[in-house]
Amino acid sequence: MILLSSSSAQAADVWNITEDTDIYSGFYDFINIYDTPPDNTTVNMYGGASDYITTYDESTLNFFGGQAEVGACDYSIINISGGTLNGAEAYNYGIVYFSGSAVSNRLISSDFGIINMTGGTVGRIGVGGSGVVNVYMGNITDKISAGGSSIINLYAYDFNYDPSGGIYDGGKITGYWILDDSYFDIDLYGSDTFSHIYVIPKLVSEAYVEIKPHTLNLKSKGKWLTCRIWLPEDCNVADIDVNSILLEDEVPAERVWLGDEFAVVKFRRAVVQEVLVEVETPGEVELVVSGELSDGTIFEGTDTIRVIDKGRRINNSPGRATRSIILKRE
């Protein structure tokens, strides 16, 4: 392993690194980090400065401190958890992880690069080409811009888009980050930026759904399939949007009763049986019930029932399996 001291840092303006190295001080105009198979070159930077650091191949840069601008390409990885950066870029399948106390003027992703932000502070985020940026939490002080076929995934809840807000021409977005429940208020640059944003919902468990009858005869003349839904303690059953409830994403609820502890939902059995008749082999079938709360929370629950055809029971077990509901916020 090479240890870079301040005296050796004056030896050249460009440093090409091909073996594991720790950097504590000194300045280089450019640092290039190359992989040396079968071992992946790893560079740890604790201090010092560089105008630009580029990682290639499958090398790794762990940026704990110092000052620089960095770029990851060719399947290399840059982990940034501290220090101050003029910018960080991921391109040509490079990956950047931005977290901790790191501060950067900008994060840029393009040409199949990926940036994952789980903390830190950045001025602006820009995504172009086929770049991807995933934001779980952190502070974005200026703006987000996106174009091409890029994607921005925001892991957030209570999300809101105001097309007329902000100081730029793309509106603004507000909400709360999933990881730490902190509030964000971010301006969008460019009228097309919002179309590239996808909200990944918050997941909450420990709620249940039960569907009756537990055994459903496809030739039955019964009228209803009944479902009871329990939500977690931090969700209010009264907030369920009754018009949003679906079975298997296509059968709407026709009758809904919202109680204090659970909801009772009825689906027209003839419509459900039209969906289930497509099952090639009758037997145990898992059904999905979904809906939305007034704050945008989407719930989705599953229960397993037994389907029989022409009055023929498939097996002798009573057939009841209640599953957890998954709640998603967006």
pLDDT by residue for the chain (330 residues), tens digit each? 555 544 444 445 899 999 999 999 999 999 999 998 777 899 999 999 999 999 999 999 999 999 999 999 999 999 999 999 999 999 999 999 999 999 999 999 999 999 999 999 999 999 999 999 999 999 999 999 999 999 999 999 889 999 999 999 999 999 999 888 899 999 999 999 999 999 987 655 556 899 999 888 887 778 999 999 998 877 889 988 899 899 988 999 999 999 999 999 999 998 998 888 765 556 888 898 888 887 667 788 889 998 887 544 444 444 443 443 444 444
CB atoms within 10 A of CB 76: 26
* Domain termination site, one of 168, 201, 234: 201
- Does pTM top 0.85 for this prediction? no
Q: What is the DSSP letter of 170?
A: S
List the structure tokens of 321: 């399996």
Stated as kind and residue range, the H or E segment containing 106 is strand 103-109
Please indicate, yes or no, whether residues 194 and 156 belong to a single structural domain of this protein. Answer: yes
Q: Where are the alpha helices (DSSP H) in the chain?
A: 269-276
Please indicate, yes or no, whether residues 154 and 212 belong to a single structural domain of this protein. Answer: no
Please indicate, yes or no, whether residues 106 and 14 belong to a single structural domain of this protein. Answer: yes
**The domain containing residue 226 runs over which residues?**
204-329
Please indicate, yes or no, whether residues 120 and 264 belong to a single structural domain of this protein. Answer: no
Please indicate, yes or no, whether residues 197 and 222 belong to a single structural domain of this protein. Answer: no
Please indicate, yes or no, whether residues 157 and 24 belong to a single structural domain of this protein. Answer: yes
Please indicate, yes or no, whether residues 186 and 76 belong to a single structural domain of this protein. Answer: yes
* Domain termination site, one of 201, 217, 244: 201
Please indicate, yes or no, whether residues 268 and 170 belong to a single structural domain of this protein. Answer: no
Please indicate, yes or no, whether residues 283 and 297 belong to a single structural domain of this protein. Answer: yes
How far is residue 202's CA from residue 292's CA, in Å, rounded to a whole number?
A: 13
- 61-to-19, 29, 91, 283, 314 alpha-carbon distances in Å: 12, 17, 15, 54, 59
Structurally, the chain folds into a number of domains equal to 2
Determine the residue type at 11: A
Please indicate, yes or no, whether residues 133 and 276 belong to a single structural domain of this protein. Answer: no
Query: For residue 272, which of 211, 330, 225 has the smallest C-alpha distance?
Result: 225
Please indicate, yes or no, whether residues 215 and 178 belong to a single structural domain of this protein. Answer: no
What is the per-residue pLDDT for 311? 47
Report the CATH number at residue 298: 2.60.40
Please indicate, yes or no, whether residues 144 and 69 belong to a single structural domain of this protein. Answer: yes
How far is residue 155's CA from residue 100's CA, in Å, rounded to a whole number?
A: 17
* Domain termination site, one of 170, 201, 232: 201
